[in-house]
Structure 1
């Protein structure tokens, strides 16, 4: 048999065919494999393909051959990602506000490439990107890369930061003067991407929306502020658990009185190691360490009668002040 123009790529195209054309519900015959290879400019004989498939099995590809009547059918079983995992990735990309619509579609297309064409069609059925709230800052991907690089190098960064005005125009904060901060982590909260950093001007932890950062530069200055994370020693995951909506504030140990039915809510928010102290047959108390902010107080309000802040006294007074403020705001 005459050699095809891409003969040296036979094994590569064989993997491509099995990956794209087959899965546990869809198989392919040897004749169809030969035909598909020919479309790529590769001529192949059955005997050589049997050897190639066996070599791929030894390499680690889970290729199954099943006989129906007198015909053998081949399909690829296990993949790097299961279909359920790919669906989860698609959902995550779609829901992320910090990923632009254009980049969302590009990423989903790449995710589809990890599945067979039949599985890819299932992924397409759950794609709803148009109309979702998405950032329009295409440079966010470079911003993320710069921040990660600075963290790896233990370096500070400078950048400009903007906000939107009522005319939907970008307005630079601090009149365009660059911020100089020490980045410690990136955190995904409320569908947005934030940089957790220490501002050297006042040595406080601050949060910056990555899609609102412009003109990032990595500075030839070592990072500062490790002590700001306290005993966790820059354990940002532990720190983020105390946050509500990425709002900064004073760290406090707050005592909550909860109805028993709210146990799951407390565990979901603060972790299973949170200690519960029985108050009576219907209530328990717990002490939680949080970054105290109006956002935290609003979270407690949202739980209705199920959770109540009972200490310390200064926090209770802050809650009363917030209730009074809201009453005035919505009074006639």
Structure 2
């Protein structure tokens, strides 16, 4: 016991009906391990096989009783999970490339209607400078600089294949000198790129929580009468942003700038047009 104590273990003695020794303080409390287990099992980015492996390792950080409780807490089957086992190698390559200041190349894939992954750009390699990894909507993204296009882009890590670290140094340092990953994630919807703009929204008061959850507690909210408030937020204007506004419903309205209002109106017209065509076809058939 003295040797274990010298190694920093918190050895406690229990007296009474079931006397013995046990480890008192542990690096992780049960609620903390539950939090980590939940993050692993709910992540689409981690395969079912790897999820089970990671959770088993987390269970070993607790005592037998707590480990049994964690096992009962796990529900992995039937959750949407990636099947790409190379994801972990991609993450390792990306971290190494960032540390060594090197570019990477990879194939990038997309799903087809046959539920098969097809390489984009005709199978040509993407060459980019990796600068960060970020988590968004249960997916893992690489944030990188595309020197050929001269802009920052992001890629789903689970859709990257045949990743390699190149000998060439990274580019785009100026673009990332004052880069704020949190601000980038806040203004981007679904990691879908677009033109940045300060957009003014008029919302019903009951949507204050929705706006705060999306843009943070420091978001500007200005009351407009008894039922509405106005907010101005920096967003990357994209179909995903318009989809977010549409999903909230009539309680939110874009009031500026005029160019964004016009783009949103056209977005809605295009959607409505799809259903108008269907109605016309249905009328002809009847």
Count of aligned positions: 277
Q: Does 1:155 align with 2:102?
A: yes
- Residues in 2 aligned to 1:313 and 1:226: alpha-carbon distance in whole angstroms: 34
CA–CA distance in structure 1, aligned partners of residues 103 and 186 of structure 2? 25
Q: Report if the CA contact (8 A) 1:226-1:233 is conserved.
A: no
User: Partners in 2 of 1:307 and 1:75 — Cα distance?
Assistant: 57
CA RMSD of aligned residues (A): 1.8
Q: CA deviation at 1:110?
A: 0.4
Q: Quick one: which of 137, 140, 152 aligns to 1:190?
A: 137
2:100 and 2:180 mapped to 1: Cα distance? Answer: 18
Are the counterparts in 1 of residues 197 and 237 from structure 2 also a CA contact under 8 Å? yes
Within-5 A mapping of 1:214-225? 214-225=161-172
Does structure 1 retain, via aligned residues, the 8 Å contact 2:107–2:160?
yes
Deviations along 1:9-31, one digit per CA (max 9) or x if unpaired, are xxxxxxxxxxxxxxxxxxxxxxx
State which drifts further: 278-287 or 97-106.
278-287
Q: Which of 1 and 2 has greater Rg?
A: 1
Shift of 1:59: 4.6
| Partner residue, 1:239 | 184
TM-score between both structures, scaled by the size of structure 2: 0.90
Q: Residue 127 of structure 1 aligns with which residue?
A: 74
1:286 is matched with which residue? 231
Alpha-carbon distance in structure 1 between the residues aligned to 2:3 and 2:221: 58
Q: Which residue of 2 aligns with 1:108?
A: 55
Q: In the TM superposition, what is the alpha-carbon distance from 1:55 to its structure 2 partner?
A: 4.9
Structure 2 residue aligned with 1:18 = none
Structure 2 unaligned spans of 5+: 280-286
Which whole-Å CA distance do the structure 1 matches of 2:27 and 2:77 have between them?
Answer: 29
Q: Distance in 2 between matches of 1:164 and 1:282?
A: 44
Tell me how far apart the structure 2 counterparts of residues 59 and 137 of structure 1 sit (CA, whole Å). Answer: 41
| Structure 1 runs, 4 residues or longer, greater than 6 Å off | none
Match of 1:262 among 196, 199, 207: 207
Alignment correspondent of 1:11: none
Among 1, 10, 23, which residue is 1:62 paired with?
A: 10
Task: State the 1:66 CA deviation.
Answer: 3.6
The 3-state SS of whatever aligns with 2:250 is helix
Please tell me whether residue 306 in structure 1 is matched to residue 254 in structure 2. Answer: no
User: For 1:125-174, what per-residue CA distance to the aligned partner results, in whole angstroms no more than 9, with x for missing partners?
Assistant: 12122222211111111100101111112221111111222233332111
Q: 1:220, CA displacement in angstroms?
A: 2.1
Per-residue CA distance 1:269-300 (angstroms, 9 max, x = gap): 11111122222222221110011111111111
- Which runs of 5 or more structure 1 residues have no equivalent in the other structure? 1-51
Match of 1:85 in 2: 32
Distance 2:196 2:172 in 1: 16
Q: Residue 208 of structure 1 aligns to a residue in which SS?
A: strand
Contact between 2:136 and 2:185, CA under 8 Å: does it hold in 1? no
